[in-house]
Structure 1
């Protein structure tokens, strides 16, 4: 899994109400990858941001206005450099359009009150070169920080401060580098339980040495039991016991572990791997809400069909000629339609 996905493994597990199991992690990841691809196909665009260089012919076969360059199937978030016939076009000399709705931007116009123009130079082929961030959006949300330095550009594991803010499939940003999270493993938080707790569901107050080191919704492991942090007050954690299908157990002085050790793909989304000191702030790319929701739904549909050997009752969808699981088809069809209406890319007529 080299690319960021539109939903995380944890989100699908939560939606399914299933306990973690290494046995089906690969199956869930594959379903999410398929769901992400299906969403791209349905909406006729790619949502993940990518740093890349794209080339365009000028003049093109579309014979547009002399100041307008259509980007066709490519959505542009933010250019870092534009070359026309090898000459840099300054940012003051062009407008990204539609200015009132973008990003993403669908075309670029050179300003008529500035000297720069689109030019074919010695050849019209690949005459215009645009480097920058491509995709639908680059919305970033805080995701804690690095809990240990990344001292090499080839390391494939990083330790983070907040496992609740990061899921498998996320695209993380640390400095100028982006990393795709491909797995999570337990790391010792360096703290132990300060007072004993009994094997009772209502024994939910866990005293720790430093409550600021933990976060709401983090899943902690003590012995063979997992607990989910519901609230934090000073050094007291209020938790949900026997979380994620684990067995209730008593604890006394147990070491506290959290899934903060991430396996990552370095230099993702067109960036370059780089070192980073401990404490570097992390952010995660967030796909549009409707895209995340539909990806989870598509993944769940795939998983349920696989679990039944594709023997679930199906029926034809009116007007589509396709067949889907009857139990989910109405809501899933509605969700697909909402996604297309909200973030789908409409085809643009072009000259032939």
Structure 2
């Protein structure tokens, strides 16, 4: 397995001030570093588990030094697979096992997180809170036992896209799945859902829903990007839209990613925008459709992005929500919904 502590051949950038091109005022970088020290990044999507399972010795864009340089304090380790049919559950279990192994290998750096308190505690102890999920909704077929088993293994997010019970809209069983996820405080991740299905699920869930990695279709027409109607639905549901750093979805520059963040913040509201970079594979070359945008090729670029948003006039309170507070709020809201559901059931 690749070592998360490996350094890149060219060395790593200084903490908080990544060495990437583009004119950014030093004062803005200093303010960004100070803000991220207090409100670190909660990244909604890291695909490292999938990458390492497919290619154990593959060079990746994620390691502990670069996570530290980018002030990453929490991550969701995506457990989505490309498997179909009978292989989906087995391959998902393999990825869960790999994620546990990764987290256990570095106990002084990472902590398995199951709730918002774990997220805060990890930050206070200087560790990276590591959440498991989403898993593929196709793992859950005609019963809720698999969902509960995933929850018992530490999974805290599931993506309905591609599941038979959510393809054309929620079936009766699909409504059961969403209710049980609410009861378990598992986040519903609408990444990849058709717009009309995403809006339906956002309205059906009693807990806030999330989209862990997407961008604005109004700026970049891409099948994985969401139209404004979905952003409005997430705002009404008090959910969270996490903007990816995939160049084919955003454009090939840090400036383009900032444009998407501006748009999502404008439509969904500052309380509903977050970051879901989708790091975890190779760093790419900055070209559209191949890797991540220039300046954001690995997690060490987060301070520069925050500096860009400061230069655009984002208040520090909005940046604190973008980086950390919105993700923690959604988790706490899901836990509140869970407690209420279990109280009614008792």
> TM-score category by the smaller chain?
under 0.3
The structure with the largest alpha-carbon Rg is: 1
Taking structure 1 as the reference length, the TM-score comes to 0.23
More strand by share: 1
More helix by share: 2
